[in-house]
Each structure stands twice: as C-alpha cells, then as structure tokens.
Amino acid sequence: MRGEYGFFRTLGDSFRPSAYEGLSEEKIPKSGKYFLLLMVVATIVMFLAAIPAFISFSKNIDTVIDNFNSLSIKMNASSKGPIIIFPGDSMKEVTIDWDSNATEIDSGKLLLAKDRFVKKTLFGSQYTNLTGYSNVLEHRAVYKSAIITLVIFLIPSMVVGAYVFFGIKFFIFILLTAFLGFIIARAVRFSIEAKNCFNLAVYSWTIAILIEMITFSYNIRIPYFRIEWAGYIISLVYFVLGLKKCGYFEAKRDRHGDLVHRKKYYQIRE
C-alpha cells in the first residue's frame, strides 16, 4: 500500500517543511524519480486546467472573425517534393504535397494540397475541397472546424513539449538553488551535505512547479507582480527552512581548537 501511494505521500510532505529532515536524506535516484513523476502529474493537471480556456477559445473564434469587414486567404507555394512531418508515425504523420490530386490516403494522418485537405479517419479518408473557400467570412464554419481540428491534433505534441520545456527549466532552477545554497552554507560555516541540498531543492520547488504550470493557461494579472513569482518565493523560503532544519552552524570548538560537529540522527524514510 505504501508503495502505491508513496509518490502522493511525498508530494504532501513537500508542502510541510517539518518533513524536510527525512526527505533530505533520500537517495538521489529516489528524489530524481519523484521530480520526473511530479512533472508528469503537473503536465497532465496543466492541460486539464486548460480545458476551460480551450472551450472559451473555440467560442471566441466567431467573435474574432466578426471583427473583420472582409477576410480572404490566398496561398501560393511550391516544393521539390512531398514534405512529411512526423514520418513513420501513422497517428501523427502529415504530408504537404502542393501538387497532389489524391482524394484518399493510405498512410499517415493528414494530406494538405493546394486545393484540398484529406484526413484519415476510422471510417476511411475524409476529403475536403478547398476551392472556393478563400473567403473566410462566408465559410467561417469550415475554418472554425479546421482550426479546432488542428489544435486537437497538436495536443499530444504540446503535452510532450510542455513536459520537456518545464522539466528542463525547473531542473536548472533546482540545480542552481542546490549549488548556491551549498556554497553559501559552507561560506558561513553551516554544515550540510551537497546531497541534502539537492534533495531539499527538489522538494521545495514542488510548490513553484505546480503554481506555474496550473496557472499557465490563465492570464492572472496582479499589478507589478506575476503569479508564478509567488511560487518561486514560497519555494525559496521552504528551501531555507529546510536548510535550517537539516544542518547546523559549526560554532563550537574543543580545548584543542578543533571544531566540534554535533551528530544529528535522521529518521530515514525507506
């Protein structure tokens, strides 16, 4: 039972600086695995939280189009041959062949040509003739459907992209926090191990990760302040509190002038 809920228990502990003493003694691979799982959960929650924004976007397409008195699209392009995006992946492969006359596709998901658009569905190929659709205002329903289909089609790529982007971003923040925290601690003769600093950085940055990724799709405005900065501040405060709880100042010396290191015993979580 503990193994099944270990991640969520640790997630809850990351909100309690009082639990950082034990968390700081975790093995590096375990805290690294926690970070990777945290990014998966945060990415999923981010896109779930974006559903209302996506619904609002789809409803506002007509409003945006209504603001134009006239709007038409004319496309001219040429290529040496078919351009294939995501080759080899039948669920995502897109072929751009400007001179194609095909009305069906055997492989891939989409075919875009100068005057046609072919999409592969469970019931076969769906062919749409784009000739005569240059006037957006007269054919808003077609363009609205195309835009929504494109966004839905790109969602898997956006999920992976968000995971990689935010994962790299926050991993850099964690490394910087751990490195600077360790250097400053040693400079002021505060005893703490590098491993403890890294673990404290991983768990303390949990709050910032969740706040930024959950609110990413919403334009929350505060004068002269960004909502994600609140997460950064809270995480750094938690990191400092963790340092204070897990380390100690090398203040005492024995009669020979040597530093006396007070031993601390941690309740290491298995």
pLDDT of 115: 66
Looking only at the bridges linking them, the beta strands covering 124-129 and 116-121 are antiparallel
Same domain, 31 and 68: no
Does 160 fall in a domain? no
pLDDT given for residue 138 in this prediction: 67
Q: What is the pLDDT of residue 130?
A: 65
- Asked if 231 contacts 208 with a C-beta cutoff of 8 angstroms, the reply is yes
pLDDT score of 128: 67
> Among the three residues 153, 168, 199, which one is the final residue of a domain in this structure?
153
Q: Is 166 within a domain? A: no
Burial class (CB in 10 A: 0-12, 13-18, 19+), 205: buried
At 210, list the tokens: 């969740």
Indicate whether 104 and 85 sit together in one domain. Answer: yes
Mean pLDDT per 10-residue interval, the chain, length 270 residues: 68 91 91 94 90 76 65 61 70 70 70 72 69 64 74 83 94 96 89 91 95 81 79 94 84 54 42
139 assigned to some structural domain: yes
Residues 268 and 183 in one domain: yes
Is residue 161 one of the residues assigned to a domain? Answer: no
CA contacts within 13 A on the Cβ side of 36: 6
Per the structure, the complete domain to which residue 200 belongs is given by: 1-63+178-270
Q: At what angle do helices 194-204 and 206-214 cross, to 10 degrees?
A: 30
Give the CA-trace dihedral at 56, 61, 66, 70, to 10 degrees: 160
Look up tokens 């909100």; give the residue. Answer: 15
Q: Supply the pLDDT for residue 28.
A: 92
Q: Are residues 81 and 52 in the same domain?
A: no
* CB within 8 Å of 20: residues ≥ 6 apart: 200, 203, 204, 238, 241, 242, 245, 246
> Total structural domains in the chain?
2
